[in-house]
A = this chain, B = another copy of it.
Amino acid sequence: MQKKDRLRLESRARIMKALGHPTRLFIVETLESREHCVCELTATIGADISTVSRHLSILKQAGVVRDEKRGSQVFYALRVPCVLRLFECVESIVKKSAEEYLELSQ
């Protein structure tokens, strides 16, 4: 495989991997409406703030979110608008799995 192809696959995989955690998916969904500071997200999620901060750092490194420091707070926002569409596809996989499960159990 070409080096270029390998790099492309790796960067895509990094994004998918970043989205491959329930808490991080929740963060992305939350950011769909508007930007949030770390403290808001932490309050909603209920985990330790250090844990939330690490999740945000993973999303940021993958390029899914961007951060902006304002005063003592850091605000995170989605960096691309298409994540919702991405979820539609993922949801169709979930649905198909559920349908086939129902068919098999009939």
Give residues in A with beta carbon < 8 Å to B. Answer: 1, 6, 8-26, 46, 62-64, 79-80, 82-83, 85-94, 96-97
Chain B residues near A1 (CB-CB < 8 A) = 26, 46
Q: How many copies does the complex hold?
A: 2
How far, in whole Å, are A24 and B13 apart by their CA atoms in the complex?
9
Per a CB cutoff under 8 Å, which of B20, B85, B96 touches A20? B20
Per a CB cutoff under 8 Å, which of B12, B18, B25 touches A87? B12
Are B17 and A16 in contact, with the CB atoms below 8 A?
yes
Per a CB cutoff under 8 Å, which of B23, B62, B90 touches A86? B90
How far, in whole Å, are A86 and B19 apart by their CA atoms in the complex?
13
Chain B residue nearest to A21 (CB atoms) is B13
Chain B residues near A12 (CB-CB < 8 A) = 22, 25, 87, 90-91, 94
Per a CB cutoff under 8 Å, which of B17, B91, B92, B97 touches A17? B17
